[in-house]
Structure 1
Amino acid sequence: MTGHEMLVDRYAVAGVLGRGGMAEVREGWDTRLNRPVAIKLLHPTLTADPGIRRRFEDEARSAARLCHQNIVTVYDFGNHQGTPFIVLERLPGQTLADIIAAGPMPASHVRSMLDDVLAGLGVAHAAGVLHRDIKPGNILVSAPGDSMKVADFGIAKTGGVAHTMTGQIVGTMSYMSPERVAGAPASIGDDLYAVGLMGYEALVGRRAFPQDNPAALAHAIMDSTPPPVAAVRDDVDPVLAAVIDRAIARNPLQRFTSAEHMRAALAGDQRALRGGVVSVGPRPATKVLEEQPIPSTPYVLRAPRRRMRKYGVAAGVLGVLAVSAFALALDPASSTPARAPEPVSTSNPVTPSPNVAPPPSPVVQQPSPEPPAPGGPAGRGHGKGDKKRG
């Protein structure tokens, strides 16, 4: 499609604002409402793939349901001569990636950025929408007050080293949690982990996991943790440092359970900040196409070993055997094998509350050490996050 063509007899299409592995974003003008817009067009080479077309449509429907000052607004969705398109709010600002490229951000600006992004994600999660690709290139700067807006809900990146669909895993590996890299389904916790990595990158001026080689990057994410914020920037206030350190902890039980939880800690709520080990709440029904995870070794959380006296162990084992034998003798039906629990599908749509995130489900916590002290697109930035960053 060349510049200044008309889309469905309504939108005038002009120059390219950005390109990604799945789509390109063009500058546009809504001739009916007389306002500037950004138009995302699926790449012509991908229009014949039903799965990609469906994912592109899912992005439009998911984002169109969200109305918040920290989320890029979706105006329209359609099909022009076989090419799906999404019409978005046109923003004049930069992406967070542009800002970080200029150097580390002041701590006060990082705090404000995190609060804006978490506010937008809180609304999305309450509506049952996961982002799955939170990164600086998908956070746009809005001119009024320089607030941040989250863009690119549910889009799957298909080009470049970091933007991968290998094994049907969707997202940008540099900002994936260890569980996600291991092949676990996307969750609210993954979005929050990526927010923590963005905060770390904004303070330091480089990615927390800077490896470019996919194998080395996956190994670093699975087996290491970035140095604490205080070790790389001693001018950051302890609350902000503690929030970021906790958000990117390797143990998911030590992280925040919701965007609201993380925002409260960021605001200085000591109960939220020092809440100790918490369980991760249930994932809402996502409104994006679920993909099969890559086959890999599961990410296993290991409880710390506790030393026991050998006599105490022997006595405990004998006691368990004795109780088990007694129970079997009393229960004639005990020899009948119990039915395995029916698998629960996570793909069935669930209509969540429009304003309240689903409550966390209780879990049986394993012994764990005390957690450490707390310490897209629219506008010029469309698609810039799809470029590989070293």
Structure 2
Amino acid sequence: MSGRETLLGRYELRGVLGCGGMAEVRDGWDTRLNRAVAVKLLHPALNVQSDIRRRFEDEARSAAALSHPNIVSVYDCGDDDGRPFIVMERLPGDTLHDHIAQGSLPPHRVRAILSDVLAALATAHGAGVLHRDIKPSNILVSADGTTMKVADFGIAKTAGVAHTLTGQIVGTMAYMSPERIAGAPASVADDLYAVGVIGYEALTGSRAFPQDNPATLARAIMDAPPLPVSAVRPDVDPTLAGVIDRAMARDPQHRFATADQMRAALGGDRAALFSGAASTAAARPATRVLDEPLPVGAPGTFVAPNADYFVPGGRKRKLTRNQKFLAAAGVLVALTVGVLALATDPSSTTQVTEPVSTSTPVSTPPSVAPPPPSVTPVVEPPDEPGEDAEAGDGNGKRGNGNGNGNKKRD
């Protein structure tokens, strides 16, 4: 044995690949299988925090249960003298964040990147796992640059796991959906929204929501969607632009229903691109054509004096003098009853009807974060200048342990 630090007498620990708020990632070597690995170690100071430790263990279980070419593989996990660790596949490439930092990417490459990410999410969602922190730094690029792998299921949520405190938001705010900012539970629509934000960023070379201050960032996500892709990159084909725009729709009912549907739309399936979006507008009832005219004064009808009406297949008829008189009398009686009802209703003079808003306003001043009082965002300090603040997870990591300097944030 070389004298290097080892875990369980098997995994040699070498240089640090990255470090974040929750864990550090070390270059490692599996002495039993003679292969390079990446080892994630929970910070010793966090071992005493049971919720953080459980979340770390959940990452291992969630990721180990998923087997897919576009998901970073977990080989092993355990505890060495009170130090929880996860042994993962080590990739020699960079993160998508590193590639976008060099400038906007060509549309054909963005399409391939999103397709890989969606394939990974389809598998995760099919297993009941929501990632909840999809972002460029959690997407690793293979050495040849042709394959994307989704990493960091540290704040993933499964059907039987719920360590998030009531009113606490976890994830990276710049890639959160409006409903997550407002405190709604995570859903498939949130992961797909984040994929759309990634696509927007990859095409434009800058974040869809570039605000640094958490309050202004949350307000922008809630109330100020970015320009459509076609307005920023006119050269992008309408299908790719349409997929990204739909994925970033503020209303989750207008987004794609599944990762498979979004991936099919990305591949040119127009039915997938346009189907499945629920309309918020109520359907207009069909126009009803009567076979015969309703009698004057029938319940629910009103015929003004001198009015005409039509009989299908017939000609326009004029009301007779007596019919006009009866109609006018009916209107007068209705108005009289209405006036008496208002006069005898005490609430008619003491109550003022307030306007009802169907939107989700952010009523707090710009200096205060907009989520509702019941939601308590936990914001981690940025990993480095220009890096987004993370909420709840505490995984501001720089290095996911899945590459040679894979600068992935926890």
Taking structure 2 as the reference length, what is the TM-score of the superposition?
0.67
- What is the one-letter code of the residue matched to 1:26? R
CA distance in 1 between counterparts of 2:72 and 2:165 reads 24
Q: Give the alignment of 1:171-210 within 5 angstroms.
A: 171-210=171-210
- What is the one-letter code of the residue matched to 2:113? M
Paired position in structure 2 for 1:74: 74
Aligned-residue offset at 1:253: 1.2
Q: State the secondary structure of the residue aligned to 1:41.
A: strand
- Does residue 106 of the first structure (1) align with residue 115 of the second (2)? no
Q: State the secondary structure of the residue aligned to 2:79.
A: strand
Paired position in structure 2 for 1:244: 244
- What is the one-letter code of the residue matched to 1:8? L
Paired position in structure 2 for 1:218: 218
Change (3 A) 1:119 1:231: same
Aligned-residue offset at 1:146: 2.0
Paired position in structure 2 for 1:385: 409
CA distance in 2 between counterparts of 1:222 and 1:173 reads 11
Is the CA contact 2:13–2:27 (under 8 Å) kept in the aligned structure 1?
yes
Change (3 A) 1:167 1:4: farther
Taking structure 1 as the reference length, what is the TM-score of the superposition?
0.70
> For structure 2, which runs of at least 5 residues remain unmatched after alignment?
157-163, 285-298, 302-333, 335-399
Moved over 4 A (4+): 164-167, 302-306
- What is the one-letter code of the residue matched to 2:258? S
Is the CA contact 2:66–2:123 (under 8 Å) kept in the aligned structure 1?
yes
- What is the one-letter code of the residue matched to 1:126? G
CA distance in 1 between counterparts of 2:122 and 2:401 reads 19
Per-residue CA deviations over 1:151-193 (Å, capped at 9, x if unaligned) read: 001338xxxxxxx999521100000000001001111111000
- Does residue 118 of the first structure (1) align with residue 118 of the second (2)? yes
Q: State the secondary structure of the residue aligned to 2:54.
A: helix
CA distance in 1 between counterparts of 2:4 and 2:110 reads 38
- What is the one-letter code of the residue matched to 2:103? G
- What is the one-letter code of the residue matched to 1:378? N
Aligned-residue offset at 1:92: 0.2
The structure whose Rg is larger is: 2
> For structure 1, which runs of at least 5 residues remain unmatched after alignment?
157-163, 280-301, 307-313, 319-375
- What is the one-letter code of the residue matched to 1:240? L
Q: State the secondary structure of the residue aligned to 2:6.
A: strand
Change (3 A) 1:273 1:305: closer
Per-residue CA deviations over 1:284-330 (Å, capped at 9, x if unaligned) read: xxxxxxxxxxxxxxxxxx75899xxxxxxx959x9xxxxxxxxxxxx
Is the CA contact 2:18–2:407 (under 8 Å) kept in the aligned structure 1?
yes
Is the CA contact 1:130–1:154 (under 8 Å) kept in the aligned structure 2?
no
CA distance in 2 between counterparts of 1:115 and 1:96 reads 14
CA distance in 2 between counterparts of 1:267 and 1:377 reads 32
- What is the one-letter code of the residue matched to 1:230? S
Change (3 A) 1:42 1:315: farther
Per-residue CA deviations over 1:130-162 (Å, capped at 9, x if unaligned) read: 100000000000125620000001338xxxxxx
Q: How many residues align?
A: 290
Q: Give the alignment of 1:1-390 within 5 angstroms.
A: 4-144=4-144, 146-155=146-155, 167-275=167-275, 277-278=277-278, 376-380=400-404, 382=406, 384-385=408-409
Q: State the secondary structure of the residue aligned to 1:243.
A: helix
